[in-house]
Structure formats: C-alpha cells, structure tokens
Amino acid sequence: MVRCCWRPPNPAVPRHDLRKVRVHVQRPRNGGGGRGLGDQPPRLEGPGPGGLSRRACFRLHFPQLALRRRLGQLSCMSRPALKLRSWPLTVLYYLLPFGALRPLSRVGWRPVSRVALYKSVPTRLLSRAWGRLNQVELPHWLRRPVYSLYIWTFGVNMKEAAVEDLHHYRNLSEFFRRKLKPQARPVCGLHSVISPSDGKILSFGQVKNSEVEQVKGVTYSLESFLGPRASPGDPPFPPATSHSSFRNQLVTREGNELYHCVIYLAPGDYHCFHSPTDWTVSHRRHFPGSLMSVNPGMARWIKELFCHNERVVLTGDWKHGFFSLTAVGATNVGSIRIYFDRDLHTNSPRYSKGSYNDFSFVTHANKEGIPMRKGEHLGEFNLGSTIVLIFEAPKDFNFKLKAGQKIRFGEALGSL
C-alpha cells in the first residue's frame, strides 16, 4: 500500500497540489543489471515553491482512493438504489468475524443500523410462504418424526392435548392449533380477570401518561397502538391533543384507572386464546403491518415493536367500563383468526402497512355487540405471538402476577 507524502523543507510553504503531480514508475527489467521498483524510489515532479521540481518519498493509498470514489457515487443515487447497493455490505459488516469490514468506516461508509436492517427483511412475504408450507399435508410416516422434533425443541406437553396421537394431525397448521382436554385448563371463577392464553408475563400495571410498557424500560404510545378512539356506529373521535386527553377518551367512569397486561406466547405454548372476562365486543380494528419477532429480546431491542407489527384490536365494555384485547402478529404468525369474525383476513397483500380497517359488530339486529363469557373460545394464532389487554377498572384493582412468570389460560390475572 503506497501513500503520497511530500515534506517541504519550510513548514510555512504550502504542500503540493496532488492534482498536478505526475508519478513516474520505472518498470523492473528482466535482466539482472536493472534496478526494479523496490530498488529505486519513484520520482515526483511538479511545480514546487519557486517553480522548482522536488523529489520526495511517498506512498499512494490506491484502495482508499478507489473506495472514496465508489462510496461517493452512492450519495448521488436514489434512495431505493442506495438501499440496494448498501444492504449487502451491511450484512457482511455484521456477519464477518473480527470486524473485517470496519476499515470501510474510515473512508466515509456507514452501515445501516441493525434495527433498520431487520425492518427491511420482507417478513410479511416470508410469513405467507410459511403459512403455505404449514398447509402442506405430511406423509403418514413423516408426521411422527417432524412433530417429535418440534415437541423436543419447544417443550410441548402433548399429554394436555385433546388428541395425543401425532398421526392425527395432517399438517403443521393443525398441530399448532391443537385443542386441549377440557380438564387441562380449569377457569378460575373467584377473580374477575383471567389469563386469556398460555404464556409469559412481560409487563403489567397502570397506564401512565398514555404510555404502555412493552417490556421493562421500553414503552410505546397508547394512541399509536389502538388508533383513534371510535364508538359503535359513530366515526372515530378527533385525534387527541395530548396524552392525558386520549386517556380520558378511554376512561368512561370517574375514579377509574387504565390498566394493561402483556402476555407473550412462545412457539411451544397453547396457541388458542379465550375471553379473559365477561364482556361485550362492539368493535374490531385491523392494523396491517410488519411481522417482526415479538420475543422479549426483540421487544427490548426495537422500540414500539407492537405498533409496527400487524395486530387485531377488539374493543368493547365490561362491568367497569372500557375493555380491549389485542392479538399481535409476529414472524410466521401472519394468520390471526377471530372465531366470530369471518370478514377478517390478516397478512393479506391487498392491505398496505400504515392503514387500518374498522368493523362494527353493532347492527340494527344486534345493538349491543358480541357477548363473550369468561373462558369462552375467542381466536387462535398459527405460532407464538402476543396478547395485550388494556382495560378500565377501579383504583383498588390488584394484579396477582410477577413480571416474567409463566402463566396458563384460566389462571387469575387480577381482581378487585
């Protein structure tokens, strides 16, 4: 590696203009008498101070100059082309060991952040492909090895399944959505709110300043998550002017507070979810979005992850006021099914990210909505995902939980 470095005898004299420098390099001769490139230093000619030609030892940074030219061209590209050109370098930057590409940062190149790189992955397309694969019927002889590997990997308890015979499940989708024995999940009748599913408690407590905890220390906006408040049969309320005003739109009774609970469903958990209390579902809002992983590690890494992902928000009322249950999609969990909503189609290419679709269950024939009993079947995922409960309750409502604990459907979440 050679670099051009000319040192003038007088420090006050300016350096040569490198654009006017001519470099002469003598080729080594084949004979033994000639002097090669390593024997004779190259000669630098150019207009020096006073018009005199000068000689100096120098080295040329050929790779660095070439990289500067190439990377300088990126700034002239359009944004899609820039992403296309910088994406492979970014992947190599994070994958190659020992920082093999870190010298590129010295010449002006900056890698895309890990979060931006992960968001650029086509998770919706991959989830659709995974859904098609789940629908493929497995040969009878292959079912036991495939399901046994899944059971061993994720710790599935098949003794609780309504059908324990692995050959009964024709494809992976049927295995993921397996039903449980009736006595496997007794519903607690002493507490007003129960767990709607199996899973792990990520966070719970009061909603403060209209911010909901994703995991400990990471929050997201309540308004971004639920969208503008809507009443059955009426258009959405105007956007809230402050966080407190949006919270006041949800709290309908004086003296009540707003509470939340986040439950993460791992791939080995029971994938159906149930009604957590006696309530009436009056409205459904579907947010098309990304399908990034929602495991606790990702939830700590990506802020407002639940607001980016596809989700289905069910809102209504219970005996203490506002109540909502949100099913959040994840990677390979583009399919969210609500049993009483046949018009719902998630992870569909006809829906674009950044929008939402409303549907009201209040009609002229049914002016109240869909009544749900505590423990009643509500919906299902096709793999692990997340359930978020946001509800209104009196100030003396207490959770019977610990952060990080495992919980099963039917166990108590809290009561008055």
The type of residue at 91 is V
Q: Is 198 a catalytic residue?
A: yes
C-alpha dihedral, 238 to 241 to 244 to 250, nearest 10° = 0
Candidates 382, 393, 402; CA nearest to 202 is: 402
The type of residue at 109 is W
Candidates 344, 350, 352, 303; CA nearest to 327 is: 344
SS3 205: strand
Candidates 195, 323, 191, 205; CA nearest to 253 is: 323
Report the run of H or E that residue 134 belongs to, with start and end. Answer: helix 123-135
Q: How far is CA 19 from CA 14, 45, 47, 64, in A?
A: 14, 12, 11, 16
Candidates 232, 230, 226, 193; CA nearest to 369 is: 232
pLDDT in tens, the chain (416 residues): 444 445 555 545 444 444 444 444 455 555 444 444 444 554 544 454 444 444 444 444 444 445 444 545 444 444 444 444 455 655 555 555 545 555 655 555 555 556 666 667 777 777 778 778 888 899 999 999 999 999 999 889 899 999 999 999 998 888 888 889 988 889 988 889 999 999 999 889 898 888 887 766 677 788 888 887 654 444 444 444 455 677 778 888 888 999 999 999 888 888 899 999 999 999 999 998 887 777 777 777 777 788 888 899 999 999 999 999 999 887 765 678 899 998 888 877 777 777 788 999 988 888 888 999 999 999 988 766 889 999 999 999 999 888 889 999 999 998 88
Q: How many helices (H) and strands (E) does the chain have?
A: 10, 19
**What is the spatial distance between Cα 347 and Cα 173, in angstroms, rounded to a whole number?**
16
Q: Catalytic: which of 260, 274, 283, 308? A: 274
Tell me the DSSP string of 302-315.
STTHHHHB-EEEEE
CB 203 within 8 A of CB 196: no
What's the predicted TM-score (pTM) here?
0.70
**What is the spatial distance between Cα 29 and Cα 26, in angstroms, rounded to a whole number?**
9
CB 306 within 8 A of CB 220: yes
Q: Which two tokens stand for residue 374?
A: 């505590």
CB 275 within 8 A of CB 389: no
The type of residue at 154 is F
CB 308 within 8 A of CB 302: yes
Positive or negative, the Cα torsion across 234, 351, 302, 401?
Answer: positive
Q: Is 234 a catalytic residue?
A: no
- Neighbouring C-beta atoms of residue 407, cutoff 10 Å: 21
Count of CA atoms in the C-beta half-sphere (13 A) of 242: 5
Count of CA atoms in the C-beta half-sphere (13 A) of 351: 20
Q: Catalytic: which of 16, 127, 197, 198? A: 198
Q: Is 274 a catalytic residue?
A: yes
- Neighbouring C-beta atoms of residue 88, cutoff 10 Å: 9
